[in-house]
Amino acid sequence: MRSWLFLVCLTILSVQVQADSTPGSLLLGINQGKAGQEEISDIQDQYAGFADLIARTISKPVKLSTTQDLKTSDSNLEKGRFAFFYARPANVAAKAIQSGKYRLVAMAKGTFLVKFIVNKDSPLKKPEDIRGKEVAIPVGTFMEQAGLAELRDHGLRPGAFQTRPSRYQDAVAYMVQNHYAEVGMVAPLIAAQWQRDGGRVLFESRKMPFWSVIASNEVSDADVEKVRAALIDLKNTQAGQKVLQQMGVKEFVPGNQQDYLDMLAWLKKK
Protein backbone atom coordinates (compact mmCIF):
# COMPACT_ATOMS: atom_id res chain seq x y z
CA MET A 1 0.00 0.00 0.00
CA ARG A 2 2.76 2.43 0.93
CA SER A 3 4.67 1.59 -2.27
CA TRP A 4 1.55 2.29 -4.33
CA LEU A 5 1.02 5.65 -2.62
CA PHE A 6 4.66 6.54 -3.15
CA LEU A 7 4.41 5.81 -6.87
CA VAL A 8 1.23 7.90 -7.19
CA CYS A 9 2.83 10.86 -5.40
CA LEU A 10 5.97 10.53 -7.52
CA THR A 11 3.90 10.50 -10.71
CA ILE A 12 1.93 13.60 -9.66
CA LEU A 13 5.16 15.43 -8.79
CA SER A 14 6.70 14.44 -12.11
CA VAL A 15 3.69 15.76 -14.04
CA GLN A 16 3.82 19.06 -12.12
CA VAL A 17 7.54 19.51 -12.76
CA GLN A 18 7.09 18.77 -16.46
CA ALA A 19 4.19 21.25 -16.68
CA ASP A 20 6.18 23.96 -14.94
CA SER A 21 9.23 23.41 -17.11
CA THR A 22 7.52 23.34 -20.52
CA PRO A 23 9.95 25.08 -22.90
CA GLY A 24 8.95 28.69 -23.55
CA SER A 25 6.18 28.76 -20.93
CA LEU A 26 5.96 31.29 -18.12
CA LEU A 27 4.77 30.38 -14.64
CA LEU A 28 1.96 32.38 -13.02
CA GLY A 29 1.77 31.89 -9.26
CA ILE A 30 -1.41 32.42 -7.23
CA ASN A 31 -1.84 32.78 -3.48
CA GLN A 32 -5.25 33.83 -2.17
CA GLY A 33 -4.18 33.68 1.46
CA LYS A 34 -7.18 31.63 2.55
CA ALA A 35 -5.28 28.91 4.38
CA GLY A 36 -6.52 26.02 2.28
CA GLN A 37 -10.25 26.59 2.57
CA GLU A 38 -10.69 25.91 -1.16
CA GLU A 39 -9.64 23.00 -3.34
CA ILE A 40 -6.60 23.69 -5.53
CA SER A 41 -8.57 22.55 -8.60
CA ASP A 42 -11.24 25.18 -7.85
CA ILE A 43 -8.59 27.89 -7.61
CA GLN A 44 -7.06 26.74 -10.90
CA ASP A 45 -10.47 27.11 -12.56
CA GLN A 46 -11.00 30.50 -10.94
CA TYR A 47 -7.79 31.93 -12.41
CA ALA A 48 -7.74 30.17 -15.78
CA GLY A 49 -9.13 33.30 -17.45
CA PHE A 50 -6.42 35.41 -15.82
CA ALA A 51 -3.68 33.09 -17.10
CA ASP A 52 -5.22 33.16 -20.58
CA LEU A 53 -5.27 36.96 -20.49
CA ILE A 54 -1.54 37.15 -19.76
CA ALA A 55 -0.77 34.52 -22.41
CA ARG A 56 -2.74 36.40 -25.08
CA THR A 57 -1.28 39.74 -24.06
CA ILE A 58 2.38 38.74 -24.39
CA SER A 59 1.91 35.88 -26.93
CA LYS A 60 3.56 33.29 -24.69
CA PRO A 61 2.19 30.15 -23.00
CA VAL A 62 1.43 30.60 -19.31
CA LYS A 63 1.10 27.84 -16.70
CA LEU A 64 -0.74 28.22 -13.39
CA SER A 65 0.77 27.25 -10.03
CA THR A 66 -1.42 27.73 -6.96
CA THR A 67 -0.80 27.38 -3.26
CA GLN A 68 -2.45 28.62 -0.10
CA ASP A 69 0.72 28.27 1.99
CA LEU A 70 2.50 31.58 2.58
CA LYS A 71 5.89 30.00 3.30
CA THR A 72 5.77 28.07 0.03
CA SER A 73 4.98 31.25 -1.89
CA ASP A 74 7.79 33.15 -0.17
CA SER A 75 10.26 30.36 -0.95
CA ASN A 76 9.29 30.09 -4.61
CA LEU A 77 9.43 33.86 -5.06
CA GLU A 78 12.85 33.95 -3.43
CA LYS A 79 14.01 31.35 -5.96
CA GLY A 80 12.60 33.47 -8.79
CA ARG A 81 10.36 30.60 -9.90
CA PHE A 82 7.47 32.76 -11.11
CA ALA A 83 7.34 35.12 -14.05
CA PHE A 84 4.12 36.65 -12.71
CA PHE A 85 2.51 36.31 -9.30
CA TYR A 86 -0.90 37.33 -7.97
CA ALA A 87 -0.94 37.76 -4.20
CA ARG A 88 -3.83 38.68 -1.97
CA PRO A 89 -1.63 38.77 1.14
CA ALA A 90 0.07 42.13 0.52
CA ASN A 91 3.13 41.20 2.55
CA VAL A 92 3.98 38.37 0.12
CA ALA A 93 4.22 40.83 -2.76
CA ALA A 94 6.01 43.37 -0.57
CA LYS A 95 8.78 40.93 0.38
CA ALA A 96 9.26 39.90 -3.24
CA ILE A 97 9.52 43.55 -4.29
CA GLN A 98 11.92 44.30 -1.44
CA SER A 99 14.18 41.45 -2.58
CA GLY A 100 14.78 43.33 -5.83
CA LYS A 101 13.71 40.31 -7.89
CA TYR A 102 10.16 41.48 -8.61
CA ARG A 103 8.31 44.69 -9.39
CA LEU A 104 4.72 45.82 -9.15
CA VAL A 105 2.60 45.41 -12.27
CA ALA A 106 -0.80 46.52 -10.98
CA MET A 107 -2.89 46.63 -7.82
CA ALA A 108 -6.51 45.71 -7.26
CA LYS A 109 -8.37 48.93 -6.52
CA GLY A 110 -8.97 49.41 -2.80
CA THR A 111 -7.16 49.14 0.50
CA PHE A 112 -6.77 46.38 3.05
CA LEU A 113 -7.20 46.66 6.80
CA VAL A 114 -7.81 44.47 9.84
CA LYS A 115 -11.00 44.95 11.81
CA PHE A 116 -11.28 44.10 15.47
CA ILE A 117 -14.75 42.74 16.24
CA VAL A 118 -16.62 42.42 19.53
CA ASN A 119 -20.13 41.39 20.50
CA LYS A 120 -22.83 44.05 20.45
CA ASP A 121 -23.05 44.12 24.25
CA SER A 122 -19.27 44.14 24.82
CA PRO A 123 -18.13 46.72 27.41
CA LEU A 124 -14.97 47.41 25.35
CA LYS A 125 -14.97 50.91 23.84
CA LYS A 126 -11.42 51.63 22.65
CA PRO A 127 -8.27 49.71 21.63
CA GLU A 128 -6.62 50.07 25.04
CA ASP A 129 -9.56 48.21 26.62
CA ILE A 130 -8.15 45.02 25.08
CA ARG A 131 -5.48 44.87 27.77
CA GLY A 132 -5.93 41.68 29.78
CA LYS A 133 -8.59 40.33 27.40
CA GLU A 134 -8.60 37.30 25.11
CA VAL A 135 -8.13 38.03 21.39
CA ALA A 136 -8.94 35.46 18.69
CA ILE A 137 -6.28 35.55 15.98
CA PRO A 138 -6.06 33.80 12.57
CA VAL A 139 -2.54 32.44 13.08
CA GLY A 140 0.01 32.11 10.31
CA THR A 141 -1.64 34.79 8.20
CA PHE A 142 -0.96 38.31 7.00
CA MET A 143 -4.01 39.26 9.05
CA GLU A 144 -2.19 38.16 12.20
CA GLN A 145 0.93 40.17 11.35
CA ALA A 146 -1.00 43.33 10.51
CA GLY A 147 -3.32 43.00 13.49
CA LEU A 148 -0.45 42.53 15.93
CA ALA A 149 1.39 45.50 14.39
CA GLU A 150 -1.68 47.66 14.97
CA LEU A 151 -1.95 46.51 18.58
CA ARG A 152 1.76 47.21 19.02
CA ASP A 153 1.16 50.81 17.90
CA HIS A 154 -1.41 51.08 20.70
CA GLY A 155 1.14 49.81 23.23
CA LEU A 156 -0.47 46.38 23.30
CA ARG A 157 2.11 43.72 22.62
CA PRO A 158 1.49 39.98 23.15
CA GLY A 159 1.46 39.55 26.91
CA ALA A 160 -0.80 42.55 27.39
CA PHE A 161 -3.60 40.29 26.15
CA GLN A 162 -4.16 36.55 25.74
CA THR A 163 -4.33 35.06 22.26
CA ARG A 164 -6.86 32.49 21.08
CA PRO A 165 -5.37 30.96 17.91
CA SER A 166 -7.49 29.86 14.97
CA ARG A 167 -6.72 28.88 11.40
CA TYR A 168 -9.83 30.41 9.81
CA GLN A 169 -11.52 33.78 10.14
CA ASP A 170 -14.94 32.14 10.38
CA ALA A 171 -13.71 30.39 13.49
CA VAL A 172 -12.48 33.71 14.88
CA ALA A 173 -15.98 35.15 14.57
CA TYR A 174 -17.44 31.99 16.10
CA MET A 175 -15.15 32.27 19.14
CA VAL A 176 -16.14 35.89 19.75
CA GLN A 177 -19.83 35.17 19.23
CA ASN A 178 -19.72 32.32 21.74
CA HIS A 179 -17.56 34.20 24.26
CA TYR A 180 -14.44 32.03 23.90
CA ALA A 181 -12.68 35.33 23.13
CA GLU A 182 -13.68 38.94 23.71
CA VAL A 183 -12.10 40.37 20.55
CA GLY A 184 -11.37 38.93 17.10
CA MET A 185 -9.16 39.96 14.16
CA VAL A 186 -10.96 39.64 10.81
CA ALA A 187 -10.95 41.01 7.26
CA PRO A 188 -13.47 43.66 6.12
CA LEU A 189 -15.77 41.11 4.42
CA ILE A 190 -16.11 39.05 7.59
CA ALA A 191 -16.57 42.23 9.63
CA ALA A 192 -19.33 43.44 7.31
CA GLN A 193 -21.26 40.20 7.80
CA TRP A 194 -20.58 40.42 11.54
CA GLN A 195 -22.18 43.87 11.64
CA ARG A 196 -25.16 42.73 9.57
CA ASP A 197 -25.69 39.99 12.14
CA GLY A 198 -25.72 42.56 14.94
CA GLY A 199 -22.08 42.55 16.04
CA ARG A 200 -19.82 45.57 16.45
CA VAL A 201 -16.41 46.68 15.16
CA LEU A 202 -14.34 48.02 18.04
CA PHE A 203 -11.66 49.63 15.83
CA GLU A 204 -9.64 48.96 12.72
CA SER A 205 -6.01 48.97 11.65
CA ARG A 206 -4.26 51.46 9.41
CA LYS A 207 -5.04 51.14 5.70
CA MET A 208 -2.62 49.05 3.64
CA PRO A 209 -2.10 48.45 -0.09
CA PHE A 210 -4.41 45.89 -1.65
CA TRP A 211 -3.97 42.68 -3.65
CA SER A 212 -1.40 42.88 -6.42
CA VAL A 213 0.14 41.39 -9.52
CA ILE A 214 3.94 41.43 -9.57
CA ALA A 215 6.42 40.42 -12.26
CA SER A 216 9.92 38.99 -12.18
CA ASN A 217 12.72 41.25 -13.30
CA GLU A 218 13.43 38.53 -15.87
CA VAL A 219 10.24 39.59 -17.69
CA SER A 220 10.93 42.31 -20.24
CA ASP A 221 9.79 45.87 -19.57
CA ALA A 222 7.71 45.72 -22.75
CA ASP A 223 5.80 42.62 -21.56
CA VAL A 224 5.25 44.13 -18.11
CA GLU A 225 3.79 47.26 -19.68
CA LYS A 226 1.52 45.18 -21.91
CA VAL A 227 0.19 43.18 -18.97
CA ARG A 228 -0.28 46.33 -16.86
CA ALA A 229 -2.28 47.98 -19.63
CA ALA A 230 -4.36 44.83 -20.15
CA LEU A 231 -5.18 44.55 -16.43
CA ILE A 232 -6.20 48.20 -16.14
CA ASP A 233 -8.37 47.84 -19.26
CA LEU A 234 -10.27 44.76 -17.99
CA LYS A 235 -13.10 46.86 -16.58
CA ASN A 236 -13.87 48.27 -20.03
CA THR A 237 -14.98 45.04 -21.74
CA GLN A 238 -17.53 42.36 -20.96
CA ALA A 239 -14.92 39.62 -21.26
CA GLY A 240 -12.58 41.58 -19.00
CA GLN A 241 -15.29 42.09 -16.40
CA LYS A 242 -15.80 38.33 -16.32
CA VAL A 243 -12.11 37.82 -15.53
CA LEU A 244 -12.34 40.43 -12.76
CA GLN A 245 -15.43 38.77 -11.33
CA GLN A 246 -13.68 35.39 -11.27
CA MET A 247 -10.75 36.96 -9.43
CA GLY A 248 -12.98 38.85 -6.99
CA VAL A 249 -11.51 42.19 -8.11
CA LYS A 250 -13.49 45.33 -9.02
CA GLU A 251 -10.74 46.76 -11.20
CA PHE A 252 -6.96 47.12 -11.44
CA VAL A 253 -5.02 50.36 -11.04
CA PRO A 254 -1.27 51.08 -11.44
CA GLY A 255 -0.64 51.21 -7.68
CA ASN A 256 2.44 52.52 -5.88
CA GLN A 257 5.30 50.11 -5.25
CA GLN A 258 6.64 52.22 -2.39
CA ASP A 259 3.39 51.71 -0.45
CA TYR A 260 4.20 47.99 -0.20
CA LEU A 261 7.71 48.67 1.04
CA ASP A 262 6.42 51.19 3.60
CA MET A 263 3.89 48.64 4.83
CA LEU A 264 6.60 46.02 5.25
CA ALA A 265 8.69 48.45 7.31
CA TRP A 266 5.63 49.11 9.49
CA LEU A 267 5.03 45.41 10.06
CA LYS A 268 8.65 44.89 11.11
CA LYS A 269 8.88 47.97 13.35
CA LYS A 270 10.00 47.12 16.87
Per-residue pLDDT of 99-116, as tens digits, reads: 999 999 999 999 999 999
- CATH fold for the domain made of 114-206: D-Maltodextrin-Binding Protein; domain 2 (3.40.190)
In this prediction the pTM is 0.84
16-111+209-268 is a CATH 3.40.190.10 domain: yes
Domain boundaries, the chain: 16-111+209-268, 114-206
For residue 52, what is the DSSP state? H
**Shared fold status for 16-111+209-268 and 114-206:** yes
State pLDDT tens for residues 219-250: 999 999 999 999 999 999 999 999 999 999 99
- Is the predicted pLDDT of residue 23 greater than 90, yes or no? no
Q: What pLDDT score was predicted for residue 16?
A: 38
Q: Which of 246, 244, 4 is nearest to 106 (CA)?
A: 244
Cα distance between residue 86 and residue 67, in whole Å:
11
Contacting residues for 127 by C-beta, under 8 A, at least 6 apart: 116, 151, 154, 156, 202, 203
Whether residue 13 has pLDDT greater than 50: no
d(CA 187, CA 45): 24
Please give the DSSP secondary-structure letter assigned to residue 109: S
pLDDT per residue as tens digits for the range 133-150? 999 999 988 999 999 999
- For residue 138, report the phi and psi dihedrals to the nearest 5 degrees: -80, 95
